[in-house]
Structure 1
Amino acid sequence: MEWFEALALLLGAILFLMAAGMPVALAFLAANIIGAWVFMGGERGVSTLLNNGWGALTKYALMPIPLFLLMGEIFFHTGLGGRMFNAIDKLLGRLPGRLSYVTVLGGTAFSTLSGSSMGSTALLGSLMVPEMQRRGYKSHMSIGPILGTGGLAIIIPPSALAVLLATLAQIDVAGLLIAGVIPGLILAIFYIATIWLQTKRDPSAAPAYDVPPMSFASKLGLFLTEVVPMVGVMVVIIIMMIRGIVTPSEAAAFGALGVMILAAVFRCLTSEAMRKSITGALRVTLMAYLIVFGSATFSQLLAFSGASRGLVNWAISFELAPLVMLLVMFAVLLLLGMFMEQISIMLLTVPIFFPLAQTLGFDLIWFGLIMLLALEISFTTPPFGLLLFVMKGVAPPGTTMREIYSSAFPFIFCSLLLVTLLIAFPQLALWLPSK
């Protein structure tokens, strides 16, 4: 069988099963069994493939996923996230568009701890949109910052999706996590600048309102007690990884322990909050591990059948410049993001794109960050970006999908601008991991 026939069989089986309503991970598993039967010699091939898949689950690099998820769940269910948002809200005073800034600043800090774009968007949407609409904010000033900030969870560590991508691509987990720090902060600054421009262009879009005045000493005390401890957890674990003191798995454990200690200090670490946190983290962890199992066996089948090598050779036969090939891969990710959720995209593209990127001479950490940004943009790409529907689910009644789409576009532009900067100046991503 030719390589393109093998590729068509594997991808066709996956897409058919997904279209028939089968869950993504199970669709990959079923297609892998079919492929193993065809390419690896029937029952013996299936047995070999499954044994190799179990081996992929024993990788130490997967350990940060449940710990990062547990950290975010505790942060959410104990109410620490709400305390931090309330503090930032009071600190900004009577600033025009204040609640939009609160969304970006508080959302950026929350994203670093939650590691989940869907969780960030759901929390911000349920907390902030009703309040902003009550204050007379227009939809693009309330919905847009939330859609943008929710995506920051993908690239600012600790990011469970970054850990999963690094594991699937077999690249350095710590390197990819740390590479997202500077670009993530730049993206948050772009968002703040966007809000400032929107308020200058249309002051009525985010009307100011009176707030109780606070002395400088009160603001300083609020900042030190309600903001610094939460953000400090993220800063400490990043510094520990950069200095080589801990591995990503150990950093994730310290992060989860740190959030638990904070919750205990603030007297909000209840048994019910822990039960909900452990249940939520366990549910997502099991899904992630099943996905790793399916992806590992899928990659082996692509290699065994010759499909991955044939596809890479076919792609480089066009003799396109590496930058053009990068833009083609980026466009494919955006296109897939209109119709598929991000983990499915990773399962389909990582076994193909990373060997191609290596052949083209790209730094794989840098390319991994570009791919994460493409996934972040596809989260909010109309018509079927996942965060668009999460926002629709938590937005006040009467919010239309058209309003959500139009609110997302300025923040999509910010992300595209960041990608342009990373292509022009790769050291924005690579300098910090090199330290």
Structure 2
Amino acid sequence: MDPLSLGGLVALFTVVILFSGIPVAVGLLMVATGFLYVFDGPRSLQALPELFYGDLNSFALLSIPMFIIMGAAISSTRAGPDLYEALERWLTRVPGGLLVSNLGACALFAAMSGSSPATCAAIGKMGIPEMRKRGYPDEVAAGSIAAGGTLGILIPPSVTMIVYGIATETSIGRLFLAGVLPGLLLVGLFIAWAIFDTWRRGAAGVALSGITYSWREKFEILPRVIPFILIIAGVLYALYGGIATPSETAAVGALLCIVVAIVVYRMTQPAALWAVLRDSTRESVMILFIIGAAGVFSFMLSSLFVTQSIAAWIADLEVNRWVLMAVINLFLLVAGFFLPPVAVILMSAPILLPIIVTAGFDPYWFAVIVTINMEIGLITPPVGLNLYVINGIAPDINLKKILIGSMPFVLCMVLAIVILSAFPSIVTWLPDVLMGPEQ
């Protein structure tokens, strides 16, 4: 069987296995070992344990559990509700201000926690009931939080960017910087749509419910959220100032987040600290297991010459590079509908990166495009993790309404991809200025 036909067969079996409900890592291992055994003989399986371990034997991977602990420590406190309340107090007199407050709170909390589901849960528990009470339609209240939560995988520090960096052997520091301006662009587009939609509905005063806050009330809540923001700023400064590596800054950031949670939010119960470490360990092991399995899967594709044949086939198409990028975007979008971001990146990035570099695209720009596609996948069925998180928070709002409310924000993400394609320097300018052009 020729490699291209074999690649199609691998894709078919992979989809069937993953759709069966088997965990992603287990499914990838099953497909990889099965095809190696059938098409390369049983001797090829001898190297699999070493391959699996080799993909995990990287000091850079230490940053993943550390950043996850940071997010878990923040999520276990009232930082999310406090952040939401702080913005609501400052923006309560702005037309559509409550909706803007929710989106701003989602962006800031996502930057602090790096987790989309945690952002939806933390902000949604207070934001959705408050918006409904103020007269916002159910689909707007739920859809805005679902979309705002997706920002957690783009705005640094981002576990998704770390995974991309490890999978493609690109600089994690540059990837973090590359995500800053696109993240702010997405926040701006989300807020612009929120203000326009509020005006369009003739509800410019929907947030002006008569509630006012004194300057004292506006300032008194800030000390509860500023420490976390300062920690994130400090982590980024240490990383980009050349003071420490990503793994070292993540470790210090995790420790500081736990200290702030204990000091500011009185999280002194051993059970609460144990829950943070337990949940962080569970999520970290899941991601690392997928990384190891994806390494074995990539070895299988390479050993059977599937990767090389696909790259050569695409190179021989001689199509316009933007047509090629449109096809890749469509593939990523569809893959994101069905698989979690980490799995899509680990499976596709090593194959796609040589192709897009050959076509003249910047690998860091491509990382942002991939991540935005993964964000869309978080709020679109059938997986659409954020949709189900919001439905769990507000079970009386059905999934159809949540999906309808999130669709305008999906269009904002598509618009962001178009803008970044027209002006790629939005991605590359900050890394080049702070770290110098990559050689």
With the shorter chain as reference, the TM-score category is: over 0.9
Check whether the contact 1:129–1:396 (CA below 8 A) recurs between aligned residues: no
Q: Which residue of 2 aligns with 1:413?
A: 411
Give 1:82-161 correspondences, 5 Å limit.
Answer: 82-161=81-160
Structure-2 separation of matches of 1:261 and 1:340? 35
Structure 1 stretches lacking a partner, 5+ long: none
Instruction: Confirm or deny that 1:401 pairs with 2:399.
Output: yes
Q: Which residue of 2 aligns with 1:255?
A: 253
Shift of 1:269: 2.4
- Residues 1:222 and 1:124: Cα distance change in structure 2 (over 3 Å): closer
**C-alpha distance after superposition, 1:408-435 (max 9, x if no partner):** 1211121112111211111211122221
Instruction: Provide the rounded CA distance (Å) in 1 between the counterparts of 2:120 and 2:217.
Output: 30
Which deviates more, 260-269 or 166-175? 260-269
Aligned to 1:325: 324
**Please, which of 406, 421, 436 is the counterpart of residue 423 of structure 1?**
421
For residues 3 and 168 of structure 1, what CA distance do their matches in structure 2 show? 23
TM-score when normalising by structure 1: 0.93
What is the distance in 2 between the residues matched to 1:258 and 1:83? Answer: 19
Residues 187 and 418, structure 1, Cα contact 8 Å, conserved in 2: yes
Q: Deviations over 1:229-287 (max 9, x none)?
A: 22222122122222222211112112212212322331422222211111111111010
Q: Deviations over 1:6-28 (max 9, x none)?
A: 31343233223223332111010
Q: Specify the alignment match of 1:391 in structure 2.
A: 390
**Letter paired with 1:18:** L
Q: Per the alignment, in what secondary structure is the counterpart of residue 272 of structure 1?
A: helix
In the other structure, the counterpart of 1:211 is 211
TM, length-normalised to structure 2: 0.93
Shift of 1:127: 2.5
- What amino acid is the match of 2:404? S
Is 2:139–2:401's contact at 8 Å kept on the other side of the alignment? Answer: yes
Matched, 1:360 2:359: yes
Q: Percent identity?
A: 30
Output the amino acid matched with 1:139: D
Quick one: distance in 2 between partners of 1:66 and 1:290? 12
CA deviations on 1:2-51 (whole Å, 9 max, x unpaired) are 11233134323322322333211101011111122234431x31121221
Work out the CA distance in 2 between the residues paired with 1:430 and 1:266: 37
1:10-409 superposed matches below 5 A: 10-42=10-42, 44-204=43-203, 206-215=206-215, 218-223=217-222, 225-270=223-268, 271-382=270-381, 384-397=383-396, 399-409=397-407
Retained in 2: the 8 A contact 1:180–1:429? Answer: yes
Q: What's the secondary structure of 1:266's corresponding residue?
A: helix
Q: 1:85 to 1:19 in 2, by over 3 A?
A: closer
SS of structure 2 residue aligned to 1:63: helix
What is the letter of the counterpart of residue 425 of structure 2? Answer: Q
Alpha-carbon separation, structure 2, partners of 1:355 and 1:38: 28
Higher deviation after alignment, 329-338 or 108-117: 329-338
Structure 2 stretches lacking a partner, 5+ long: 435-439
Within 1, Cα distance between the matches of 2:52 and 2:39? Answer: 16
Against the structure 1 CA distance between its residues 54 and 40, is the aligned structure 2 distance closer, same or farther, given a 3 Å change threshold? farther
3-state SS of paired residue (1:171) = coil
Paired residues of 2:80 and 2:119 also in contact (CA < 8 A):
no
Output the CA distance in 2 between the equivalents of 1:170 and 1:350: 10
Question: Cα distance, 1:383 vs. partner?
Answer: 5.3
Contact 2:67 2:254 in 1 (8 A): yes
Could you tell me how far apart the structure 2 residues matched to 1:298 and 1:311 are?
15
* 2:363 aligned partner, one-letter code: L
**8 A contact 1:168–1:295 mirrored in 2:** no
